[in-house]
Structure 1
Amino acid sequence: MIVRTIDEIIGTENEVESDTWTSRRLLLEKDGMGFSFHETIIYAGTETHIHYQNHLEAVYCVGGDGEIETVSDGKVYPIQDGTMYALDQHDEHYPRGGKTDMRLICTFNPPLVGTETHDENGVYPLLSKQPVGK
């Protein structure tokens, strides 16, 4: 059994920060679960361009507010506590923090190894040896 707390992640290499978000990576590829599991904070009033070409992601909001815009059709979806969205088509998107920081619980397939950050196109590199969707 694996048991971890956010307090054990904060300040370690498993807490990755940018100007618009912080990702606390609780489960990674090395844990052998077939997915990675993260707490991500999207800062209030920010916008981040993301396009996970190598990963599928499911997200559940457990606090705060904001929105997500899909680039392909310009649709904007409000996000608040209790909202789930899944990027099942490798959707290029813009998550935006609202009036308060958004606290999101995220899963990635294939799992992240832990060092990934978005490149200039909003993409995480594929560092996992596990194929997408397996």
Structure 2
Amino acid sequence: MIVRTLKEAEQSSRRVVSPDKHWESTRLLLKEDNMGFSFHITTIYAGTETHIWYQNHLESVYCISGEGEVETLEDAAIHSIKPGTIYVLDKNDEHMLRAHTELKLACVFNPPLTGQEVHDENGVYPLDDK
């Protein structure tokens, strides 16, 4: 059984802050935990816009608190995000994530992340093929 707290994880290398300071993500479950997915609590800072395109991962995102929007770039559709909303990037959707207020999100990735990933210049996390 794995038991860890968000508070403990936030004080470890499992807390990752983006180089542009738009978000931070505390990775509660990672590839090394052998669950087949990773689970994160992510904070998107108010007033930020982040380009994301997970070409190597599928992600589901559940909003715990805050308000914002996600825009899929293929069709320019804009979807409101507020507490209780889930959005699922089931087609490796390229998108813009905008935080009107600070967003607190619970995120699941498949395949799982290894821990220190940040978006590259195209909004992509690298694939760990080990």
Smaller-chain TM-score bracket: over 0.9
Number of the residue aligned with 1:75: 77
Instruction: Structure 2: give runs of 5+ residues left out of the alignment.
Output: none
Instruction: Structure 1: give runs of 5+ residues left out of the alignment.
Output: 130-134
* TM-score, structure 2 as length reference: 0.96
Asked if the contact 1:111/1:128 (under 8 Å) is kept, the reply is no
For 1:128 and 1:64, how far apart are their aligned partners in 2? 35
For 1:46 and 1:33, how far apart are their aligned partners in 2? 32
Number of the residue aligned with 2:117: 116
Which amino acid is the alignment partner of residue 32 of structure 1?
N
Number of the residue aligned with 2:4: 4
Matched pairs, number: 128
For 1:128 and 1:106, how far apart are their aligned partners in 2? 21
Mapping of 1:117-132 within 5 angstroms?
117-129=118-130
Q: CA RMSD in A?
A: 0.8
For 1:42 and 1:69, how far apart are their aligned partners in 2? 15
For 1:10 and 1:40, how far apart are their aligned partners in 2? 11
- CA apart distance, 1:128: 4.7
Secondary structure of the residue aligned to 1:48 is: strand
Indicate which of 60, 63, 73 corresponds to 1:61: 63
Which amino acid is the alignment partner of residue 127 of structure 2?
L
Q: Sequence identity of aligned pairs in percent?
A: 59
Asked if the contact 1:37/1:105 (under 8 Å) is kept, the reply is yes
